[in-house]
Structure 1
Amino acid sequence: MRAPYGDLRGAGERRIDRQAAKGERMSEATSAGPVAQRERIADIDVLRGAALFGVFLVNLTGFGAAGIMATEGELAALPTAPVDRAVAFAIDWLVADKANTIFAFLFGLGFYIQMERGLARDPGFARVYARRIAILALFGWAHLVFLWTWDILHLYGMVGFALLAMRRVSDRALLAIGLPLLLIDGHLLEWGLGALGIGGGGADFYADAAVLARQAADYPQELALTWRWTWIDYIVNGQLVAWMIYALGRFAMGAWVGRKGWIQRPDAAMPGFRRALVLCLPLGLALSLLARLLEAKLLGPAFAGEAWGHLGSALRPAAAALLAAGYLCGVMVALRSAAGRALLAPLRHVGQMALTNYVTQSFVIAFVLFGIGPGLGLAGRIGTAWLAAIAVAGFVAQVALSRLWLSRFAFGPLEWAWRALTYGRRPRFRRAAALAAA
């Protein structure tokens, strides 16, 4: 496929992709199959790569924060504590809730595009897609239990079935479902469930004693702690339901935008992207800053009451949605300039391997924070500033490794396995094999 902002691949890569696409088109003419490389929308891969950076940054710094893998006392005693607080504030203001909003939005967008293309080839494609998201959900639950308690893949797989059930609803209905839910975040939903008497009882997971136990745990002990948290604090106490509702709103908005075709046909939509950028970015920055200042009680004694803190929490989802929209529009606009393409185009390789890179980030976080096996066990020993620096360095490495991998292989390893399980046949893996088959 010719990228909407110009083909960023080398001649050899373009030739190989054409040959791979030729073989895939032959098999797809009569049945559903994986999306050919030429059919990928490069802008979406860039957006997904950018969102993955934000997810990595928030996950690493958030998991190393007080109440999760470090205590307040440990972090306050660090020589970098003042800088850590400033960096944590900036991440919460600029990245937290925005990156995962974009990531979930892109899932909904991708759903619409896959369904549109799949149904054009096979009227029964919905069954194939159901198998695809069921595999994702199962993989996500395994990822949650055995490696990463903040997994999102199980949510995407489970809520994907709701999106599948909504595939025939009108544009107006999609918007009516997505927009209100977009303005409610998972934390607010958790609070609402608590107000109804659903929840509570999991607070001991965040106590200092529990944090120190996690720091000292070996892998079997960590698994037991994770199982307990997953059952009590996540399932029984309603967090799972809250975050499924959170994801559904963002999925629905992504599918709605997909129906409008704005991302697929960006040149025609560019005036709208520019107007939305001018509106959403400054408004989102200001509202997100206000929400964070109110929550942290940093606006002086007159705004230090609990009611003001609750107002800040209530403003967060709207602020996150506006700022996420501003970021997304900013990327779409930037990709139409030479400087923007040079800066952002490498992210498409990360986005093409989003599943592999997301899971790899989990291993990196575990390696940095936990003392299990070869792990560094740095939880409580370094603060947010150093963790943010590690996230930046780790993501730069992912950009380079993703590009290197995709110069030799057509898919990331987990993407390849996911496709093979979904379609019941092994897609071509090595680019050299695709070239030789021509």
Structure 2
Amino acid sequence: MQPDIPARPRIPELDAVRGFALCGILVVDIWQITGMSATVSPGVMDSTRHMLSVLFEGRFFPIFSFLFGLGFSLFLDSAAEHTDRPRLVLARRLIALGVLGLVHHQFQPGEALLPYAVVGLVILLPAAELSRWILLTLGLAGTVGVALTLGGGLGLVPGLFLLGMAADRFGIAETLRERTWQLAVVFLLAAPAAVVAAWWEYHVPYLDLLASSAPALAGLLGALAYLTGLLLVLRTAFGEVLSEVLQPMGRMALTNYVGATGLILAADPRLGLAGSTNYELLLLLAASIMVVQVIISSVWLRWFGHGPLEWVWRCLTWWQPVPIRPRGAERADSLGLPRRW
């Protein structure tokens, strides 16, 4: 089993979308980690928090989960080209992620890495044998069904993982540049539906939110609108600049996701966010962390082929030390397996 091999070129749009999702997740993570108050009085939600919830909560987590399922399928295909036991490699990869998630959970109880690893082992590994149409059907049924009955949350992960895997099997990831009109059609349908659903969610009384399917459905529609909208923007001149900012963050998604927790915990005692409704300060902190991570990611990837945690994860995946520095033309590619997170 030899991990030090040339990899297929990365898909820049997916790295940019992953970085975009990290930024949105960061806003929600800050109020969850610090324990900020959502209400100004019993049953009355803080107005800024209310608006941020409608714009961010449940919108970026589905994108991240979908990309994880897609990356799972891409990695499995890549591993199959270089070892006769790709499932063993992938199982080891998920177990390593679960261990990291278990440690991360001690500092951020709402973190996603441990659930991702468990769902990957229980759902995705067996599902890898299924046809693309079955994956699509199960993914849609699981995602929509959970949104309607259980209200979303981590229950959406299995369905979104399967949808991501189905997207790879249909060749969507590799042909993104050829799908502009399809993305435009989906966006034109999803955007107004997302606005209507967000209006519905916004007007659900705070005490009734947990029993309502509005947040989950609005979140999924919002995620679809954000995803397709961003992919369309990336095709413009402004999008090229935006992509240069987001791609490094996306390539170091694991490092940035875990690192953000440390930065939030370090900042909270000084900012006094715990128990407060100072959401303007939250946005300032989120913007500051984003700037720091964009700069660090960009500088790091000028010299190294993987983020620090991505490299450790890769070593554990292949169960041997692997190069962290790119060689020659590999610097412009994904710089070895794994090429997705």
Q: Same fold (TM over 0.5)?
A: yes
Partner of 1:340: 239
CA distance in 2, matches of 1:187, 1:134: 31
Q: What is the CA RMSD across the aligned residues, in angstroms?
A: 2.8
Task: Report 1:24-423 matches (<5 A).
Answer: 31=1, 33=3, 36=6, 39-64=9-34, 68-70=35-37, 85-145=46-106, 147-161=107-121, 162-184=123-145, 189=150, 245-296=155-206, 313-369=212-268, 371=269, 377-381=272-276, 383-423=278-318
Partner of 2:339: none
CA distance in 2, matches of 1:256, 1:98: 20
Q: Could you tell me how far 1:398 is from its partner in structure 2?
A: 0.9
Please state whether the residue corresponding to 2:116 is helix, strand or coil. Answer: helix
Q: Could you tell me how far 1:310 is from its partner in structure 2?
A: 7.2
CA distance in 2, matches of 1:381, 1:35: 50
Does the 8 Å CA contact 1:175/1:256 hold for their aligned counterparts? yes
CA distance in 1, matches of 2:245, 2:252: 12
CA distance in 1, matches of 2:148, 2:284: 27
TM-score by length of 1: 0.69
CA distance in 2, matches of 1:272, 1:400: 34
Q: Structure 1 residues 149 and 284 mapped into 2: Cα distance closer, same or farther (>3 Å)?
A: same
CA distance in 1, matches of 2:69, 2:231: 18
Please state whether the residue corresponding to 1:39 is helix, strand or coil. Answer: coil
The one-letter amino acid of 1:89's match is: H
Please state whether the residue corresponding to 2:173 is helix, strand or coil. Answer: coil
Q: Could you tell me how far 1:38 is from its partner in structure 2?
A: 5.2
CA distance in 2, matches of 1:71, 1:285: 22
CA distance in 2, matches of 1:149, 1:271: 41
Does the 8 Å CA contact 1:94/1:285 hold for their aligned counterparts? no
Please state whether the residue corresponding to 1:121 is helix, strand or coil. Answer: coil
TM-score by length of 2: 0.87
The one-letter amino acid of 2:79's match is: G
In structure 1, stretches of 5+ residues that fail to align are 1-30, 77-81, 192-241, 298-305
Q: Could you tell me how far 1:317 is from its partner in structure 2?
A: 2.1
The one-letter amino acid of 2:240's match is: R
In structure 2, stretches of 5+ residues that fail to align are 332-341
Q: How many residues align?
A: 328
CA distance in 1, matches of 2:284, 2:33: 15
Does the 8 Å CA contact 1:367/1:376 hold for their aligned counterparts? no
Does the 8 Å CA contact 1:49/1:348 hold for their aligned counterparts? yes
The one-letter amino acid of 2:112's match is: I
Q: Larger deviation: 106-115 or 317-326?
A: 317-326
Please state whether the residue corresponding to 1:264 is helix, strand or coil. Answer: helix
Q: Structure 1 residues 99 and 35 mapped into 2: Cα distance closer, same or farther (>3 Å)?
A: farther
Does the 8 Å CA contact 1:182/1:318 hold for their aligned counterparts? no
Does the 8 Å CA contact 2:153/2:216 hold for their aligned counterparts? no
The one-letter amino acid of 1:163's match is: L
The list of structure 1 runs, each at least 4 consecutive aligned residues, that deviate by more than 4 angstroms after superposition, is: 34-38, 69-72, 184-188
Q: Structure 1 residues 310 and 393 mapped into 2: Cα distance closer, same or farther (>3 Å)?
A: closer
Task: Report 1:13-28 matches (<5 A).
Answer: none
Larger radius of gyration: 1
Query: Could you report, residue by residue, the CA deviation over 1:147-198 in whole angstroms, capped at 9, with x for unpaired residues?
Result: 2111110011111112011001122321222112212558963x7xxxxxxx
Does the 8 Å CA contact 2:15/2:250 hold for their aligned counterparts? yes
Does the 8 Å CA contact 2:191/2:225 hold for their aligned counterparts? yes
Q: Could you tell me how far 1:122 is from its partner in structure 2?
A: 2.6
